[in-house]
Amino acid sequence: MQIRNAIPADADSIMHIFRQAQASLHNQGVNQWQNGYPNPEIVDRDIASGNGLVCITNSLICAAFVLSFDYEDTYDNIFKGQWLSTGQYGVIHRMAIGDAFKGQGLGTVMISHAEQICLSRGTHSIKVDTHRDNILMQSLLGKNQFCRCGIIYLEDGQERLAFEKLF
């Protein structure tokens, strides 16, 4: 498997994976990504910023995620806990795996790749947030030694569980 920066030609494949993830969350009863998010404009912005990444196996895009080093103002205030660190960090957003590729450990591969990018930049922390009901993502984070740090609120007021890993 290869992981590379997403390019404009990847946008439709990324959206296909995101639509599958939206349907999967819906089927699990998770009210995350059910309001048209993420959408093609966000995918285009992720690609243009250089933060969008795709996983490729057998010439097919099988997963996508974002690794950003941009400032996250919603992480300024954490409730019912605290972050493990206050320094520079990477943030994983919009991690999704195509239905045909689930159960193959790709989530761990993406996290490991994100850690390597962070280390190459001298960064030793990754932060992630997810919906309280997204048990699969929480399980993935726990399996990869992320610590649950507290609760953050998105700009629209939605609650998210906040996680961080130091390495």
Q: What is the mean pLDDT of each run of 10 residues along the chain (167 residues)?
A: 97 98 97 95 98 97 98 96 97 98 97 98 98 98 98 96 98
Q: What separation in angstroms does the CA of 35 have from each of 1, 3, 19, 70, 98?
A: 31, 28, 11, 24, 20
Alpha carbons 80 and 8: distance in angstroms, whole number? 40
Q: How are the residues of the chain apportioned to helix, strand and coil, as percentages rounded to the nearest 5?
A: 35, 30, 35
Q: Tell me the HSE value of 147 on the side-chain side, using a 13 A CA sphere.
A: 11
59: left (phi over 0), alpha (psi -120 to 50) or beta: left
Alpha carbons 132 and 31: distance in angstroms, whole number? 9
CATH superfamily, domain 2-166, is Gcn5-related N-acetyltransferase (GNAT) (3.40.630.30)
The backbone torsions φ and ψ at residue 132, rounded to the nearest 5 degrees and listed phi first, read -55, -35
| Residue 116 three-state SS | helix
Q: What is the pLDDT of residue 49?
A: 98
Q: What is the pLDDT of residue 110?
A: 98
pTM over 0.85: yes
The whole-angstrom distance between residue 167's C-alpha and the CA centroid of its chain comes to 18
Q: What is the pLDDT of residue 127?
A: 98
Q: What is the pLDDT of residue 157?
A: 95
